[in-house]
Structure 1
Amino acid sequence: MSGFKKFLLRGNLIELAVAVVVGAAFSALVTAFVNAFIGPLIALLGGQPNFNSLAFTISGTRFPYGVFITAVISFLIIAAVVYFLVVLPTTKLLERLNRAEKAGEQQCPHCLSDIPLMATRCRFCTTELTPA
């Protein structure tokens, strides 16, 4: 029983639970955004992308393949919205922050550690340096 208790109280499990809850809330937010703004824009430009009525029948069994096509289109629209409104701006911001951070550092020629540009001595190998 103590092993199970340790498993439940491990940090990774709690982080995963929080990520699932936040992910579900974020999914609802993205879906609402797509339904409120992107869907109407697409309907305005090219009609409503709803193929739910498409189906075929074999031996009295109905196969509604249109539901799948609508889900695929919806997935692609949501994925594009997430990429262009979340992933791309975040990546650009992180690149800009990393560039600014790296501009303030140089590599020690002896131990190859990152040190401030104005350093006169490496904090890792204590080699004397000339400031850049």
Structure 2
Amino acid sequence: MFKGFREFIARGNVVDLAVGIVIGAAFGAMITQFTKSFLEPLISVITGGHGTGGTFKVRGVTFDYGAFIGAVITFVLTAAAVYYLVVVPMNAWAKRRGKLAEEEMSDEVRLLTQIRDKLGK
């Protein structure tokens, strides 16, 4: 029972997932704080200043569009950072790993792969 669990953990999928979740949470917190510390005050100054910028009232109800703009900026920054810091390097690593696996193929497997690829076209 423990042997199967050890093999499951050793495959790396669980470790990669755990690392991704931890890094993503930490990075999300960092981007959120950046938005609160720098972007929200900047939005407030641009739209009216003194802590009331980015809002308007209709019949006594306050609409905080400045917070929405901050949330959009946070989303865009987080998505861009995840893409450029995680997805692009992982794709490059997977491509490199695929080339290594292809180099390790026997001549018969390589020939059969080429035949399969030509039949698919």
TM-score category (smaller protein): 0.5 to 0.7
- Matched-pair identity in %: 29
- Alpha-carbon contact 2:54-2:66 (below 8 Å) kept: yes
Higher relative contact order (CA 8 A, sep 6+): 2
Displacement after TM superposition at 1:60 (Å) = 1.4
**Higher normalized helix content (fraction of residues):** 2
Pick aligned residue for 2:39 from 21, 29, 49: 49
**SS at the partner of 1:92?**
helix
Displacement after TM superposition at 1:24 (Å) = 5.5
**SS at the partner of 2:39?**
coil
Instruction: Write the distance in 1 (CA, Å) between the matches of 2:101 and 2:75.
Output: 37
Give the match for residue 111 of structure 2: 107
Give the match for residue 47 of structure 2: none
Name the aligned partner's letter for residue 39 of structure 2. P
Name the aligned partner's letter for residue 83 of structure 1. Y
Q: Does 1:31 align with 2:35?
A: no
CA distance 1:24–1:91, shift in 2 (3 Å): closer
Structure 1 length-normalised TM: 0.51
Displacement after TM superposition at 1:108 (Å) = 2.3
Displacement after TM superposition at 1:57 (Å) = 1.1
Identify unmatched segments of 5+ residues in structure 1.
1-17, 113-132
Structure 2 length-normalised TM: 0.55
Give the match for residue 92 of structure 1: 92
Identify unmatched segments of 5+ residues in structure 2.
1-13, 45-52, 117-121
Name the aligned partner's letter for residue 66 of structure 1. G
CA distance 1:70–1:60, shift in 2 (3 Å): same
Instruction: Write the distance in 2 (CA, Å) between the matches of 1:27 and 1:97.
Output: 24
Aligned alpha-carbon RMSD (Å)? 3.5
Give the match for residue 67 of structure 1: 67
User: Residues 1-30 of structure 1: CA distance to partner in whole angstroms, max 9, x if unpaired?
Assistant: xxxxxxxxxxxxxxxxx8xx9475443211
Name the aligned partner's letter for residue 34 of structure 1. I
Larger Rg over CA atoms: 1
